[in-house]
Structure 1
Amino acid sequence: MSDQTTTATRASRLHLGAAATTGLAVLLLSIALAVAVGAVPMPLSTIAGVLANKLLPGVVEPSWSAGREAIIWDIRFPRALLAGLVGAGLGMVGAALQAVTRNPLADPHLLGISSGAAFGAILALLHTGLFLGLLTVPLLAFGGALMAALLVVAVAHVAGATSADRLILAGVAVSFIVMAGANVLIFLGDPRATHTVVFWMLGGLGLAQWAHLIWPILVLVPTGLWLWARAPDLNAMTVGDETAATLGIAPARFRLQVFVAGALITGVMVAFSGIIGFVGLMMPHIVRLVMGGNNQRVLPFSALFGAIFLIWADIAARVVMAPEDMPIGVVTGLIGGVFFVALLARRRL
């Protein structure tokens, strides 16, 4: 290896390390700010004291009220962490879907996966009941997301929609059909519960609890690591199915595996946050502008950027109409819609 290559490799690693360190620092600061702001502002010293006292009981003498401790520990910390987990999951799924479909406009929302997850979650909330306890909603949400993903693949196959653009059109069509079914479930459900479900469909993290976080973590960590491990295969898929096949990858089977992994992550995230669109669309594009197109970098940084973005979107949702919470899906929809139009205009140039 030449000195120039060694120097370039070392510089690339330093750049990667600096970006990761900066991103993690911004993430921690974002979580701290998300806990601090709200109808009742909390000083950072109080937040640090509560956190230290919870992690190491007795290390700090409490100088705050029990009410403030409950707001910080029981309400705001779980909400901020759930926002980070959902944003990370949606960002990573968007990056993976854009690679296997070779379409920069692909994301769980546009491909109908989020709609399928919503269908399953609404079925659990309004009709079947929590027959498996807290696991019921994420499990049925995953089933709905997987159903929608398989429908997209089936429609694309039947219609001969082999191109990336036609696959997105198949996803949009399936999304409309599945959401129509979800609306029927709402119409047939208990009128007293439909208001809560409709608000949940707009996206919201206000019901976050510590007990809820275990399921997104259990799904995101192993599935995300699997996607990251398959980053070289995703890189091959971005070039084309023929190239991927010459490298020993079965394109159709691998694409289906990624769709199932994406459905699993999206289903669980939607179960606890409602439908939040455009995170999976925006984050991979922003990451590629900063880190390049290698999916070994795009996937983890899409997760990191997605976590930071959704935490800030949740802060905005809580602050704009304080003391009322604006649905977070409204915030991401406004930002994502503008980003989507800008992306279309950029692709046309």
Structure 2
Amino acid sequence: MKNRTLVRGRRAVLITAAALCLQPFGASAEDAYPAKPVRLLVAYPAGGLTDTLARALAEGLGKQLGQTIVVENKGGAGGIIGTDQAVKAAPDGYTLLLTIPGPITSNLALYKKLPYDPRTDLRPISDIATARTVLAVNAAVPARTVAELIDYAKKEPGKLRMGSWGPGTQPHTIQTYMAKKYGVDILHVPYRGEGPMVTDLLAGQVNVTVGSVTALQQHFAGGRLRPLAVTGPRRARSLPDVPTFAEAGYPDDAYRLTGPITLMAPARTPQPIIDRLGREVSALVKSPAFSKRIEDMGAEPVGNTPSEAASAYTAYLPVVLKLTADTGVTLD
């Protein structure tokens, strides 16, 4: 009886092993994923474009994957804290990062030592959208063009206080660039995120910024804020009447650069999971409903593949590093 039991047990093991061998190689990790909720880290507080986009992405992608995606805001240190948490997470697809360019590009030039290297510790899944930013002032500032703003800064040194969503971000870079090129006295005031910065901009605690169209456009119609120019090579779709810096007479490279908001994963995340996420995200972003949702935020949808996002990052990085170095901004 005991021998028969052993034989049956061995047969069961052999049958199970044979069945596993028949499964396509590499399919199991992708087919089983995701088997539990996924964390989506945002390296800034709630209220800004990245957070808004993350929540929309979590909702849409969660439905496609059939699993909950939980957004976690981990702000601080110019995006370093949240990015570092993503880097140190298990590379199993259950911790992802949605980030603006700063933590994975300019921070390499701004800090002598980072706790991570985005070039080797993270890998792109997809560029979700291109963020459009706009130079804007509080309505109390008597400037309606870029030229008038620079003239005001020269005549009233120390009166302009440029808010940013952290050290080394685009507003900080542009503030430093303007101060250096035009010899103007503009104070940089960093915040832990764009949401708190916009609150103080409306209250007049700071009176100028280069902020996301998403966060600022609702305040233009009411007259509390005034847009002067958008960054990038063309006008923003959601602000068609606002000129680019180049159209305003300032074609400098510092004002032409725009960057993507990118979904990333720890570098050693299995390729089947990266591929699955890449397909799902690309399909979601390119769907008419989600594309419109992104455009309504004041951003422009992208939704490229992992390989395309990686190539874009490789091309974009040296441009940002040179621009950052040229402005002279340093943080340590």
Q: Give the TM-score, by structure 2 length.
A: 0.24
Q: Give the TM-score, by structure 1 length.
A: 0.23
Which structure has greater helix proportion?
1
Which structure has greater strand proportion?
2
Question: Which structure has the larger Rg over C-alpha atoms?
Answer: 2
Q: Which has the higher contact order (CA 8 A, sep 6+)?
A: 1
